[in-house]
Amino acid sequence: MKKKKIDFESEGWAGTNRFSAAGLLETFFQFHDLATAKNLLSEMMAYSRKEKILRKENPSEVFHFYLALRSLVRAGYRLQGKARKPKFQAFAEPVAVSGLMLGSLSEGEYRNPFLVFQKTFREFALQDFDRFLSEITCFSLGTFRTGPERDTVTPFLHLNKILDAAQLIVERAAMVSDDEK
């Protein structure tokens, strides 16, 4: 039986559609640093409930970010089963943890960031995240009297954890490749 390939749909924001899931995470953080990404996501959430337009002078920034987040979620979906692969097992090794390093992650998730993807996609399907991202993008770029009707807080919290976990994976992959050199 053939495995289903997930299209990361990264051509619109990264210029190419040929990425591994881990490579796409690295490309995402070349375009957006973690603090900026979390800030823009928070602004999108806030403006989806207001009758104002986010980044009125340049709304294409928001749409570009939406495309990048959508690809990031797809890459996370693909990575959820990778924790058991030998290449990625080095990430789960014990790491000294301080409270500031955790971000939105639990200690277990910090030690093994793939748990974030497993927990998230146990609760939500890819289509749920597509709907969530579409709604907050649409509502943050328009002047609507009402905001999204669905629960947006839970997917927002999971997306923040995905961003933290993705950043950790990129950092640890760089450390592993430096050690191999």
Give the global pTM: 0.84
174: CB partners within 8 A, 6+ apart:
none
Residue 22 is encoded by which pair of tokens? 């881990």
pLDDT category of residue 167 using cuts at 50, 70 and 90: very high
Provide the 3-class DSSP secondary structure of residue 50.
Answer: coil
What's the rounded Cα separation, in Å, for the pair 98 and 96? Answer: 7
**Which tens digits make up the pLDDT trace of 83-126?**
666 455 555 555 566 555 667 888 888 888 889 999 999 999 99
